Amino acid sequence: MQAGQVRWCKPTPAALGEIRHNPAYAGAFVYGRRALAPQQRLGKRRRVPRPMEDWQAVHQETSPAYLSWEQCLANQARLADHASSFARRARGGPRQGQALLAGFVICGHCGYQMRVVYTPRLRYACRAMAATSGAASWVHVDGSSVDDAVAEAFLAA
């Protein structure tokens, strides 16, 4: 392949994530969306998102827009609200799979979002304490029992 030639390929999950978070789709040019993480390991350069108020430049209406600036901001808020991360407390959003409450179950011990584990059977698991404090194990509950109780309460209501 020569420099300057377009190469078509299937998008990666990382590329799709970048597209969803890029304000260029609202016709804006921005600079300074990411910064180097404050604590870097030797030889590792990781970039983390900055809050919008810390961006160095935001110029709206610099190119044709697929959606308005207000729609872009609403989408960014929705993406942040549905993000699955135990590093912050988030409401989460529905995820793929057979679990009824994937993305919605919160750990009673630490308050972080619980993950769905499908092997060997459906479970909701919290790894936050193991990841943050080095605990040897993680909290988990039987997912089928929780799903059945929630479905029964919903149908009763």
Assessment of whether the complete model's pTM goes beyond 0.75 = no
Strand partners, 36: 47
Decide if pLDDT at 57 tops 80. Answer: yes
Least confident segment among 4-13, 52-61, 97-106, 138-147: 97-106
Looking at the predicted structure, is the pLDDT value of residue 84 above 60?
no
> What span, in angstroms and rounded, lies between the C-alpha atoms of 55 and 137?
40
Asked whether residue 86 carries a pLDDT value surpassing 50, the answer given is: no
Per-residue pLDDT of 2-27, as tens digits, reads: 788 888 888 887 788 788 888 998 99
| pLDDT of the residue at 64 | 92
CB 138 within 8 A of CB 130: yes
Q: CB atoms < 10 A from the CB of 58, how many? A: 15
Q: What is the pLDDT of residue 111?
A: 73
